[in-house]
Amino acid sequence: MDLGIAGKRAVVCAASKGLGRGCAMALAEAGAHLVINARGAEALEDTAEAIRAAHGVDVTAVAADITTEEGRAKVLDAAGDTDILVNNAGGPPPGMWQDWDREDFIKALDGNMLAPIAMIQALVPGMMDRGWGRVVNITSQSVKAPIPVLGLSNSARAGLTGFVAGTSRQVAGSGVTINNLLPGIHATDRAKALDEGVSKQQGISTDEAKAQRCKTIPAGRYGTAEEFGAACAFLCSTHAGFIVGQNLLLDGGGVNATL
């Protein structure tokens, strides 16, 4: 399927690895030119080069922390007029509800709620003026089914989800869609770190931890960054203009719910 976005300009935050990289690669495959971001310059430049080599699009790499105002300013400087925005950042650490203080919450909110909102506020007005735009926020299955040890993530992502629910309806009339993609477990560094945590906690190997987790997923496996990226590229395509304010689970059936 031709996604209709060849030549469009996309910003993909937190994209040197994992799900962000998968989204960047899929948008490039559809012909979009990219500004990609992550903190670590080396992995980011490697990813930029891999995307250029695979798909021949323009890729500008901006090494910056997207959760800070300075970092976002650098990315926005490089971005200029942008048609597609994919919001992403690392997830907050696990822990126990009684241990988190105000600073922990502020950090989680900065990363997983306020940073994507700031990027939307910066780039969506231009999209509305030009009459076309796509925003996809990478959130988590924890928005639909809370993961108790990830209470900081549950809280911050719920805040972003509420913002998107209202805002997406305010901008849809200008040709701009905002939607959220909710990953279940995908085979990325983040999933490896979670498996290592379980392995240490339960005294089992990481392979055993992974096998144990796979049994909780009806598809029987972890998702891949490639299939996640393909879903993102579709939401960013010209075909997805009537999909507004949705929360799409990509979890192999992990969340046991009818709707």
Near ligand NAP by CB under 6 A: residue from 25, 33, 48, 67: 67
Return phi, psi of residue 35, to 5°.
-115, 120
Considering only residues 128 to 147 of the shown chain, the ones binding ligand NAP according to CB under 6 A are 138, 140-141
Beta bridge partners of 37: 62
81 touching ligand NAP, by CB under 6 A: no
Q: Which amino acid is at 247?
A: N
In angstroms, rounded to a whole number, what is the distance separating the alpha carbons of residues 58 and 97? 44
CB of 184 to ligand NAP, least distance (A): 6
In angstroms, rounded to a whole number, what is the distance separating the alpha carbons of residues 50 and 102? 40
Considering only residues 166 to 195 of the shown chain, the ones binding ligand NAP according to CB under 6 A are 183, 185-186, 188-191
CB of 244 to ligand NAP, least distance (A): 22
Q: Which stretch binds ligand NAP (CB under 6 A): 4-12, 84-92, 166-174, 212-220?
A: 84-92
Under 8 Å between Cβ of 161 and 247? yes
Near ligand NAP by CB under 6 A: residue from 19, 24, 156, 230: 19
CB of 112 to ligand NAP, least distance (A): 6
116 touching ligand NAP, by CB under 6 A: no
Backbone dihedral region for residue 224 (phi beyond 0: left; psi -120 to 50: alpha; all else: beta)? beta
Near ligand NAP by CB under 6 A: residue from 17, 33, 72, 210: 17
Residue closest to 195 by CA, chosen among 176, 175, 216, 171 = 216
What single string gives the DSSP state of each residue in 144-179? TS--GGGHHHHHHHHHHHHHHHHHHHHHGGGTEEEE
160 touching ligand NAP, by CB under 6 A: no
154 touching ligand NAP, by CB under 6 A: no
In angstroms, rounded to a whole number, what is the distance separating the alpha carbons of residues 61 and 14? 11
In angstroms, rounded to a whole number, what is the distance separating the alpha carbons of residues 251 and 7? 31
91 touching ligand NAP, by CB under 6 A: yes
CB of 38 to ligand NAP, least distance (A): 3
CA angle centred on 235, ends 227 and 188, rounded to 5°: 30
The structure tokens listed for 65 are 């922390």
Query: CB-wise, 55 or 186, nearer to ligand NAP?
Result: 186
CB of 79 to ligand NAP, least distance (A): 14
155 touching ligand NAP, by CB under 6 A: no
Residues at the contact surface with ligand NAP, assessed by CB under 6 A: 14-20, 37-40, 43, 65-67, 88-91, 138, 140-141, 183, 185-186, 188-191
